[in-house]
Amino acid sequence: MPKSVQGDICPRCSEELAYQQVKEYIRTHDATEMEVAQKFQLPLAQVRHWVQEGFLEYRTNEPGKQDEF
């Protein structure tokens, strides 16, 4: 690994690990994008990117409530 990388895992592997953890979490928890970003200490933009690219999907929710994963 390049010396510029901090820690034991490369940035791409770190992102993949975070994605897998988020995906598993939202299978068992009702959560908003913001809640997921805060729980996993991720930029909200990253979570939204995964949604926009189709890697994560929203569940249909009751009218008047905020959409959840």
Reported as a single tens digit per residue, the pLDDT across 11-48 is 888 999 999 999 999 988 888 899 999 999 999 999 99
Q: Rounded CA gap, 62 and 37, in Å?
A: 23
Q: Higher model confidence: residue 18 or residue 6?
A: 18
**Residue 9: pLDDT band with limits 50, 70, 90:** confident
Residues 6+ apart with CB under 8 A from 11: 5
Question: Quick one: pLDDT at residue 44?
Answer: 94
- Give the span between the Cα atoms of 18 and 25, in whole angstroms: 10
Nearest residue to 36 (alpha-carbon basis) of 60, 63, 55, 62: 55
Supply the pTM of this predicted model.
0.72
Contact indicator for 42, 18 with CB cutoff of 8 Å:
yes
